[in-house]
Amino acid sequence: MSFKKKFAPRRKYCRFCENPEILLNYKHPEILNDFVTDRGKLIASRITGTCAKHQRALTREVKRARQMALMFYTATHSTDVLKKSRV
């Protein structure tokens, strides 16, 4: 009995189509942070299940947020990480 065969992944859906209330906006990096890795890289829509339209918007907003220092480009430059490493 292999473990792999028993595992049925939950159906992925686009979180922004599901709930139009969510503001996909560079001014709300809390939401965008769910769609980047710990190192700040964008996660493929293949993994998150985001639809193509919203993935495009997401990419654009993440890049804007990075530009305005609301999100970091790479973890090594993150203020949070630097704080921890100083201690």
Partner 1 sequence: MMTRYEELILLSPELGVEECREIVNNFSAIVEREGGSVLKIDDWGVKDTAYPVRKFNRGRYIRMEMDLPGSAVAELERNVRITDGVFKFITVRLAETPEAATEEA
Positions in the binding site for partner 1 (CB under 8 A): 23, 25-29, 64, 66-73, 77-80, 82
Burial of residue 50 (CB within 10 Å: 0-12, 13-18, 19+) is: buried
Using the minimum distance from each CB to partner 1, give the nearer residue, 29 or 58.
Answer: 29
Using the minimum distance from each CB to partner 1, give the nearer residue, 26 or 49.
Answer: 26
Least distance between partner 1 and beta carbon 36 (Å)? 11
Least distance between partner 1 and beta carbon 12 (Å)? 27
Taking residue 20's Cβ as centre, other Cβ atoms within 10 Å add up to 8
